[in-house]
Structure 1
Amino acid sequence: MTSPLPLSPSGSRTPVGVGLKSQHYQDVLQTSPALTFFEVHAENYMVPGGAHRRYLDAISDKYALSLHGVGMSLGSAEGLDEAHVRRFRALVEDYRPWLISEHLAWSRRGDTYLNDLLPLPLNAESLEIVTRNVSHLQDAIGRRVLVENPSAYLSFETTDIPEVEFLSALADRTGCGLLLDVNNVFVSATNMGWDAAAYLDAVPTAAVGEIHLAGHALKDIDGVPLRIDDHGSRVAEDVWELYRHTIARLGARPTLIEWDTNVPSLATLVSEAGIAEGIMRQEAVAREVDRV
């Protein structure tokens, strides 16, 4: 594999980005927002040609890209779909993205793809499966892949490895990085009754190549509160507090605002990214003061 890319393609200490939405293509090209990168879902651009690829070509001339897969199914016991790997590799070769990521999840059985990121039990057997699949993907594309922690709504009886330990072991075995979704940590910790700050403190510092932030919904399920990772609102203050905690520990990391439902204006997304940028700048100043 090639070496991981540096912290920021522009040398910035506050690398922030947002998810690229088709309704914002024109705004991005006309207004050139003050962002370091845009994230795109790989599966939306796997068909060559067409308007989406033309816009992505133009935007990638001005901004770095983060390529985020949602259908690789790294948790599939049957292995990866070779046709899907080839399509993914072609995108990597076409756009040479700054960051590449996928999910700790499964979404395929045979030739049937399920429109969801499904959980898997975290144990020695699944660690072997995911290790094999991540290694295969990285070897196929010649790049380091960041693996994202999921949102949790239930636990498996066969799970016997805590999630943060599972991901740390995966990084050790494969050399992959981690995409640390702080909103997912908060959602899972609240739903499952564990300590979000302790999870974040246990994440291996060197492995974190990117951070995701998003909004979530609070539902009442038969009198039981449940947080749903729906990416449909501003980042909650509780999640911002965990992000501050994370940046204080890790330092500046590429940070993306995800907003996939009830998509607002580009200006709103840029405003949310600006909050993350401000937190990273504040932490950089604090570190300088501590060194004096």
Structure 2
Amino acid sequence: MTRRPTAGLGLKSRHYDEALACPAAGLWFEVHPENYMVEGGPRLAWLEAIRRDKPLSLHGVGLSLAADEAPDSDHLVRLKALADRYQPFLMSEHLAWSQRGDVYHPDLLPFVRSRAMLATVCDNVSRAQDALGRTLLIENPSLYLALEGHAMSEPEFLTEMARVTGCGLLLDINNVFVSANNLATRATDYLDALPAAAIGEIHLAGHAPDEQWGERLLIDTHGAPVSDAVWALYARTIDRIGPRPTLIERDDNIPEFAELMAERDRAGAVLDAHREVLCG
């Protein structure tokens, strides 16, 4: 891990040159490993160059940890090879499923939080961590409709998963805000229920209202700036748990590098303000 928690950016191919040249102190980058699990080529060459100067985080989307079957062993082998090569300071995955057998879905799908599913998820997380030889941070999902049959709240599920497996949590505050809006719950209650010690990274991203339902249904688009409401929840969270490595996520409508750096600097200012209060 970096010497102290700082803010980073998702690395985009159009920004490789600017990312490589950027002198900002503490800047780190995160990538989806599935885009780099290849034998060679320009992507790996650029990642190699950036990793020489900047810390790197791997944020997976393909392990399908909430599926009712074990993570794909070939995927784990390739992911481990990438991690061994680039030595990320963080590795993370989603609390969702996207694969069953040979069928792959282009989305991160929800599930019912039953006791049986908790056992399945814990087994899958443990298998993945054992195969990788690393601790994973597991990200809370965005939810769009209420499923029936839950035996526990999402914070309770995440807390127990972390306790059983020793994994950490990747807290996506935009996901919390979107889910709370869509399911008519309180984002602050959710955030206060999470174990601070388990949170190893924070994600900040943008959302948008659904074209048909408007503000009643928010979509986690990663295609807009971080909203003021999410910034407020972020500052509140840092006040409660202390500084954590924080990523600005942008995967659609990608702006200029300078615009992303401005959001990254805003997150860094929140982290620095908390440190100044403690030191003052």
1:109 aligns with 2:109: no
Residue 269 (1) aligns with residue 239 (2): no
1:232 maps to 223
Distance 2:181 2:214 in 1: 15
1:259 paired with 2:238, answer no
Q: Note if 1:95 corresponds to 2:56.
A: no
The equivalent residue for 1:280 is: 271
Distance 1:157 1:143, change over 3 A: same
The residue type equivalent to 1:163 in the other structure is E
The offset of 1:125, in angstroms, is 1.1
Q: What's 1:130 paired with?
A: 121
Q: 1:110, CA displacement in angstroms?
A: 0.8
Do residues 203 (structure 1) and 163 (structure 2) align?
Answer: no
How far residue 78 of structure 1 moved from its aligned partner, in angstroms, is 1.6
Instruction: Determine the structure 2 residue equivalent to 1:178.
Output: 169
When residues 285 and 30 of structure 1 are mapped into structure 2, their CA distance, relative to the original with a 3 A threshold, is: closer
The sequence identity of aligned pairs, in percent, is: 50
- AA in 1 matched with 2:191: L
Q: Equivalent of 1:68, from 48, 56, 59?
A: 59
- Give the letter aligned to residue 79 of structure 1: A
* Cα deviation digits, residues 142-195 of structure 1 (max 9, x gap): 110000000010121121210000000000000000000000000001110111
What displacement does 1:109 show? 1.3
* Counterpart amino acid of residue 54 in structure 1: A
Aligned mates of 1:128, 1:95 — CA distance in 2: 32
1:61 is paired with a residue whose SS is helix
Q: Return 5+ residue gaps in structure 2 as ranges.
A: none
Alpha-carbon distance in structure 2 between the residues aligned to 1:231 and 1:152: 15
Distance 1:95 1:212 in 2: 21
Partner of 1:36: 27
Deviates more, 1:238-247 or 1:29-38: 29-38
The answer to whether the 8 A contact 2:96-2:111 is kept is yes
User: What is the match of residue 189 of structure 1?
Assistant: 180
| 1:91-137 deviation per Cα after TM superposition (whole angstroms, max 9, x unaligned) | 11111100000000000011222111111111101101100000000
Counterparts of 2:213 and 2:12, CA distance in 1: 35
Check 1:180–1:222 CA distance in 2 against 1; reply closer, same or farther (3 A cut). closer
Alpha-carbon distance in structure 2 between the residues aligned to 1:93 and 1:197: 38
Q: Give the conservation status (yes or no) of the 8 Å contact 1:33–1:270.
A: no
Check conservation: 1:35, 1:270, Cα contact below 8 A.
no
Residue 107 of structure 1 aligns to a residue whose secondary structure is: strand
Distance 1:223 1:249 in 2: 32
Aligned residue pairs total 280
| Runs (5+) with no aligned partner, structure 1 | 1-7
8 Å CA contact 2:209–2:215 kept in 1: the answer is no
Partner of 2:154: 163
Question: How many angstroms apart in 1 are the aligned matches of 2:255 and 2:214?
Answer: 31
- TM norm structure 1: 0.93
SS of the equivalent of 2:53 reads coil
1:288 is displaced (CA, Å) by: 2.9
Q: What SS does structure 1 have at the residue aligned with 2:272? A: helix
Measured after TM superposition, the shift of residue 224 of structure 1 is 6.7
C-alpha deviation, 1:35, in angstroms? 4.3
* TM-score, L = length of structure 2: 0.97
Equivalent AA in structure 1 for residue 272 of structure 2: R
